[in-house]
Structure 1
Amino acid sequence: MVTARQKCSRAGVALRCGAATFVLVLTGCGSGHGHGGSDAKPPADTRTAAMPAAPVPNAAHSLPAGGSAGAAEAEVLKAYGLMWAEQIKAYRVASADGTDLKRYTAPDVWAAFQADLSRMNKERTVMRGDLGHEPEAGVLAGVQPPTATVKDCVDGSNWQTLDTTTGWRIPSPPGQPVRYAVTAKLERANGERWTVTEYTAHRTRPCQGLSGS
């Protein structure tokens, strides 16, 4: 399996807590805990300032040129990056309205996102800050429909959960690593776009980047 790597400083993630296949990435299990930060009340501008849209990663810049495997992996990383960016948009407002998140996910993954965003709405929490990651894609040869895997190392050191009722930041769960491993599966059925069919955050598995994950 040929692989390709990509490093993103900001992008746009996350699945329902306790799901068997899909694990929440953006918020902590239970009551919407985020990554890093303290329980001190932030300044007023932290609570009200609009967050900039996350850039879409350009996978082609970090892939080998000239080969069909490299081209396929570029497509996979592009699709994964687009999904990631839409997740960030959704979790910053606790709603997928106005995003293209559904476009890049299979029905089960989309349902898991919807359930988690609904929970956030009920708990009146949103996400703030930046979420970094380092995805690496590999396309499985000879598989129909075309299938690919993505290994990712997520950095949540600047990603916060905010209680919109009080304006307080909610601290992350004790012992949760700031950088943790994520795996995803993508498929391209009927010659259409690559779609994320599985997404799992290994929240107890710390990583130092793909070389050390």
Structure 2
Amino acid sequence: MLKVYNAMTAEETKAYQRADVKGTDLEKYASLDALGKIRNDVALMKEAGTVVRGGVQHDAEVTGINLTAKVPEAKLKDCVDLSKYETYDTKAKKVIPLPTSQPLRYYATATAQRWDGRWIVTDVDTQGGSKC
């Protein structure tokens, strides 16, 4: 499941870097619910004329797993690192600073489930938990 989560976040970065999910493999790694959150973010970025330069670094770990459930499920905790992340305004041609209240490293959580013999990310909460 970590391999799938890491692949999804890499594809997510590609989408954010061009404000477009086309040309990514997000559908391979994210359920419709998780993918919907990413598509919504990308749509807001496109409307605002912003893209991401650099990227988000991830250090995820499995915090719980239930392989005996009807639908096997894993919980993940990810230390999200924004130190190399920039939001860039393509119209004004300038970097938009992160809010001063935004920690550069914080925990996010995710859920992955095993569907038809493969893991897929079904939910991601990037609202930021405690600092890591």
TM-score by length of 1: 0.59
- 1:168 counterpart = 2:130: no
Measure the CA separation in 1 of the matches of 2:69 and 2:22: 34
- Look up the match of 1:152: 78
How far off its partner does 1:203 sit? 2.1
Measure the CA separation in 1 of the matches of 2:129 and 2:114: 30
How far off its partner does 1:130 sit? 3.1
Q: Identity of aligned pairs, percent? A: 40
- Look up the match of 2:128: 203
- Look up the match of 1:127: 52
Q: Which has the higher strand share?
A: 2
- The C-alpha deviation readout for 1:101-130, integer Å capped at 9, x for no partner, is 122111111112111111111100000013
- Look up the match of 1:111: 36
How far off its partner does 1:201 sit? 1.6
2:27 to 102, 106, 123: 102
CA contact (8 A) 1:153 1:179 kept: yes
Measure the CA separation in 2 of the matches of 1:124 and 1:155: 23
- The C-alpha deviation readout for 1:1-54, integer Å capped at 9, x for no partner, is xxxxxxxxxxxxxxxxxxxxxxxxxxxxxxxxxxxxxxxxxxxxxxxxxxxxxx
198-207 vs 143-152, greater mean Cα deviation: 198-207
How far off its partner does 1:204 sit? 5.1
- Look up the match of 1:188: 114
**Superposed, which structure 2 residues align to 1:42-121 within 5 Å?**
76-121=1-46
Counterpart code for 1:154: V
How far off its partner does 1:202 sit? 3.8
Measure the CA separation in 2 of the matches of 1:136 and 1:203: 16
Unaligned runs of 5+ in 2: none
Q: 1:204 to 1:186 in 2, by over 3 A?
A: closer
Q: Size of the alignment, in residue pairs?
A: 131
What SS is found at the alignment partner of 2:128? strand
TM-score by length of 2: 0.93
How far off its partner does 1:197 sit? 0.6
How far off its partner does 1:142 sit? 1.9
